[in-house]
Amino acid sequence: MEAAKHEALRGPSGKSGFDATSLTAETVFPILELKRWKGRVLTAALAGLLVGVMVIAVRVGAADIPLADLLKALGLPAAPSTPESALNQTIILKLRVPRVLMAALVGASLAVAGATFQALFRNPMADPYVIGVSSGASLGATVAMLLALNFQFLGVGAVPVLAFVGALGTVLIVYHLGRVGDSVSLLTLLLAGIAVGSFLSAIVSLLVYFADQRLHQVIFWLMGGFDGASWSYVRLAFPYFILGIAVIVLHARELNALLLGEEVAGHLGVEVERAKRWLLAGATLLTATAVSTSGVIGFVGLIVPHALRMLGGPDHRFLLPASAIAGAALMVAADTLARTVIAPTELPVGLITALSGGPFFIYILRNRKKIRFFS
């Protein structure tokens, strides 16, 4: 099969270089099948990695949890002679499991949103916050903290609720600015997102300047973290996560076509404007859900799609589910490190992802001068 691949790339003349006229069903289909299997194997390996990281994340922390207590708390078989600790069961079920699930949801949301925005804008530097979602959420959260609002909605406090409202409100403004007639100009949308995001960030900076006694709380939220995660957060975020993921995955083929440009996608039968609206809505919903529950956590939505695109190719039928799994694993690992490296004190998760993601992204750029988007 590998020989067939090289044979197809060499062409009938035996010279190196791509020759499209040499491609036949006998040579192309084995190559495509090889890529599908490579993607499936990689996705399965990532799923195994995610399970392992989640188990470790539940066990380690300021209080180490024995494996027997973890198995019993989760309803799995364990040694019958092992005494059960009520304290460990409380720590597992009420603190660590919801926190790990919340981190996984946020990581998956940011990674899938990043992959979607990069393909829509055909810009490898696009991330989930490219159209100003993080600035809107930051403004909502900052206002809630400075005004000391203390209401609850479905068991969730004022900060994530106002952050979610701020994120969606910002996207509606940017979308309205990006519309030209019945269509949406992606370039105008991108520029409007940068302008609105910068304006809102300036307002947030102004509010932080006058934050006084609440300065630490605001700064810690802006750096991202899961210290307040609970089952209420998971229950509230999960439906939006499922809806956003479903919308994007159902449009994976249209996303592949849009990589070739809007005109080519239209010739291939894609309803371009309809697909763009659905994909923007799905990616925005995922980003708003993530940032409103965890704060602003960078680099996950930028580096995860890049790394997987290099490993398994740009086909979004593979890239989207693989990004969700890898983003979840990365975020759970980062949160575990954030709460254990100087336990019992916690570091902001955004600090961990920035410290690890920045050098990794530079490494990718140094070893991949031209980031491939189409092959």
Cα 225 to Cα 146: distance, rounded to the nearest angstrom: 19
- The structure's pTM equals 0.83
Cα 110 to Cα 76: distance, rounded to the nearest angstrom: 31
Per-residue pLDDT, 20? 44
How many other C-beta atoms are found inside a 10 Å radius of the C-beta of residue 9? 15
CA nearest to 155, candidates 72, 71, 230 = 230
Query: Which amino acid type is present at position 310?
Result: M
Cα 19 to Cα 13: distance, rounded to the nearest angstrom: 10
pLDDT along the chain (375 residues), means of 10: 43 42 52 70 93 92 78 71 72 90 95 91 80 86 86 78 88 85 80 89 89 80 86 89 93 88 86 90 89 88 88 87 95 93 85 84 68 49
Go through 167-206 and write b for each residue having 16 or more CB atoms within 10 A of its CB, e for each that does not. bbbbbebbbebbeeeeebebeebbebbeebbeebbeebee
Per-residue pLDDT, 88? 81
Helix H or strand E encompassing 208: helix 186-209
CA nearest to 240, candidates 327, 161, 323 = 161
Alpha-carbon dihedral 181, 187, 190, 191, rounded to 10 degrees: -90
Per-residue pLDDT, 5? 43
Rg, C-alpha atoms of the chain: 23
What's the length of the chain? 375
Per-residue pLDDT, 83? 58
Cα 10 to Cα 15: distance, rounded to the nearest angstrom: 5
Per-residue pLDDT, 31? 55
Per-residue pLDDT, 325? 96
Q: Tokens for 198, please give them.
A: 């910068």
> Do 362 and 303 touch, CB atoms closer than 8 A?
no
Cα 147 to Cα 134: distance, rounded to the nearest angstrom: 20
The residue assigned the tokens 């010739």 is 267
The angle at the Cα of 121, spanning 119 to 122, to the nearest 5 degrees, equals 55
> For residue range 99-110, what is the model confidence (pLDDT) as tens digits?
999 999 999 999
How many other C-beta atoms are found inside a 10 Å radius of the C-beta of residue 154? 9
Per-residue pLDDT, 29? 53
In whole angstroms, what separates CA 91 from the centre of its chain?
A: 27
